[in-house]
Amino acid sequence: MGVKSFKPKTASLRGTKLADRSMLVKDGGPKSLTLPKKKRSGRNSQGKITIRHQGGGFKRRIRIVDFKREKYGVPAKVEGLYFDPNRSAHLALLQYADGEKRYIIAPRGLKVGDSVVSGEKEDILVGNAMKIKNIPSGTMVNSVEIEPGKGAVFGRSAGNAVTVQGVDPSGRYVQISLPSGEIRLVHGDCMATIGEVGNEENLNVKLGKAGRSRNLGIRPTVRGMVMHPAQHPHGGGEGKGTIGKAKDKWGRRIGTRTRNSKRTDKFIIKRRRPATRPFAKK
């Protein structure tokens, strides 16, 4: 699953690199596994914009993805690989032996016609899902739960992989290494899928023109330096000016940590970035 380039017929095409989806099924998948998606344009329930630079774009439908893999012992066959407009990874449509169909995140190397199964302990094959305590150390997995039965949280984006590092001395938890560099503990009964997430070439995609960003629902971003000083801390001044210490639109230092979840601090062995950073909370 690579990217495709174009002949430089125009200036924008010269640097354009788009995802090659020739191996994906074009029929859109089962309609029963989708839901309508309402556009919110970055607004919350009160109608206030809480996420800037969002709005417009193509209509989308939500794909219902099986992040729990709780159909133990029921083999499934991969019917096809599908594009999901709501995520960077592709989806694999599974046809279970009992007739049910479900989407899962497509691991790298999973092909149409392959057979997968989930359970407490299964063979270490791409696409199989099992409890993480039964997965050997050093295995690359994806779609890892943070709590048993909650559904996958870690390792869901294109090209991501979580490394199993072994069972904790307590025997209840398993140590994993995340793509961010963070090392943490998860309960041994959490489910994980064998293999890395596919579509690893997604990071090489270059949209090439502003119109494609608008089609994805991304609106233009205005630099703070060109704003009036009443609109942004970077604004104002004679000439181009300098920023000094970078701040956001509301005057908060950019890079300041906002995480405040002491309840789960005990599960983090190594953070994804060191605590001794400039303007970091201590």
Q: What is the pLDDT of residue 282?
A: 46
* 219 located within any domain: no
Last-in-domain residue among 202, 217, 247: 202
For residue 1, what pLDDT band results from cuts at 50, 70 and 90?
Answer: low
* 158 located within any domain: yes
Co-location of 197 and 82 in the same domain? yes
Least confident of 42-46, 51-55, 139-143, 277-281: 277-281
* 215 located within any domain: no
Q: How many distinct structural domains can be found in the chain?
A: 2
* 212 located within any domain: no
Co-location of 126 and 265 in the same domain? no
Return d(Cα 76, Cα 98) in angstroms, integer. Answer: 9
Taking the model in full, what pTM does it have? Answer: 0.89
Co-location of 167 and 234 in the same domain? no
* Segments forming the whole domain that contains residue 39: 3-202
Spatial neighbors of 59 by CB under 8 A, at least 6 apart, are 37
Co-location of 186 and 236 in the same domain? no
Co-location of 132 and 12 in the same domain? yes
- Looking at the predicted structure, is the pLDDT value of residue 277 above 60? no
Please report, for residues 59, 246, 247, 270, 275, the alpha-carbon distance to residue 236 in angstroms, rounded to integers and kept in the order given: 39, 14, 14, 41, 33
What is the rounded average pLDDT of the residues 193-204?
95
Return d(Cα 219, Cα 273) in angstroms, integer. Answer: 30
Co-location of 141 and 243 in the same domain? no
Co-location of 112 and 191 in the same domain? yes
Co-location of 88 and 148 in the same domain? yes
DSSP secondary structure string, 145-189?
Answer: ESSTTT-EEES-STT--EEEEEE-TTSSEEEEE-TTS-EEEEETT
